[in-house]
Amino acid sequence: GAGVSQSPSNKVTEKGKDVELRCDPISGHTALYWYRQSLGQGLEFLIYFQGNSAPDKSGLPSDRFSAERTGGSVSTLTIQRTQQEDSAVYLCASSAAPRAEQYFGPGTRLTVT
Amino acid sequence: QQQVKQSPQSLIVQKGGISIINCAYENTAFDYFPWYQQFPGKGPALLIAIRPDVSEKKEGRFTISFNKSAKQFSLHIMDSQPGDSATYFCAASLGNQFYFGTGTSLTVIP
């Protein structure tokens, strides 16, 4: 079946602009994670959604970052007033249940110029 | 503070050799320790995982060794193959939070 998909695959934006990154999880997966992967770094947890529960936003690095998940499926990560340090690969993962195996999408490579 | 420390940063192994990647963690409450494999341009994929109630788990050529008292765990790849060339990440989780190491770039030379 279809895996996790993310769009766009690459995004180049100017400093100060807002960007939206999209994640389509595997159908039926209730849990959804966003991570950030910077060059030479591991994956940094950003936010976690589980069903209709309030999301765990504890990993968001600043109030310029926000995410929503509509209808328990598609999720959008929004970065406002982008900065050069936001340049990274943003990965989305979904799982069938809390703490079950995470399936990752291919990521969106964000470059802020 | 880095919750999970991973070494080495890069590793070169001859085909047929053993690749060993090490991780150390701080929080004794972590209760799930997965390893992920990532190829260029792809997202990480779960390779093998262990819980702290066992000291070793083997799946094919891949083995996790877990030392609870030392707060360390390692991935061993036996009979390494060029197709194993990838970046490997260890992780530790508590609840819904996953903490990843910084990754090891493995190159297996034919």
Among all chains, which residue has been given the structure tokens 């769009």?
A7
Tell me how far apart the alpha carbons of residues A80 and A111 are, in angstroms, rounded to a whole number.
14
Q: pLDDT digits over A7-54, tens only?
A: 999 999 999 999 999 999 999 999 999 999 988 778 899 999 998 889
Counting beta carbons within 10 angstroms of the beta carbon of residue B90, is it exposed (0 to 12), middle (13 to 18) or buried (19 or more)? buried
CB contact under 8 A, B98 and A42: no
Tell me how far apart the alpha carbons of residues A29 and A35 are, in angstroms, rounded to a whole number.
17
How high is the mean pLDDT in each 10-residue block of chain B (110 residues)? 90 98 95 94 93 94 96 98 97 88 96
Predicted local confidence at residue A39, as pLDDT = 80
Tell me how far apart the alpha carbons of residues A105 and A91 are, in angstroms, rounded to a whole number.
6
CB contact under 8 A, B43 and A41: no
Tell me how far apart the alpha carbons of residues B64 and B56 are, in angstroms, rounded to a whole number.
6
How far apart are the CA of A69 and the nearest CA of chain B, in angstroms? 17
How far apart are the CA of B38 and the nearest CA of chain A, in angstroms? 10
* Contact present, A75 and A92 (Cβ < 8 Å): yes
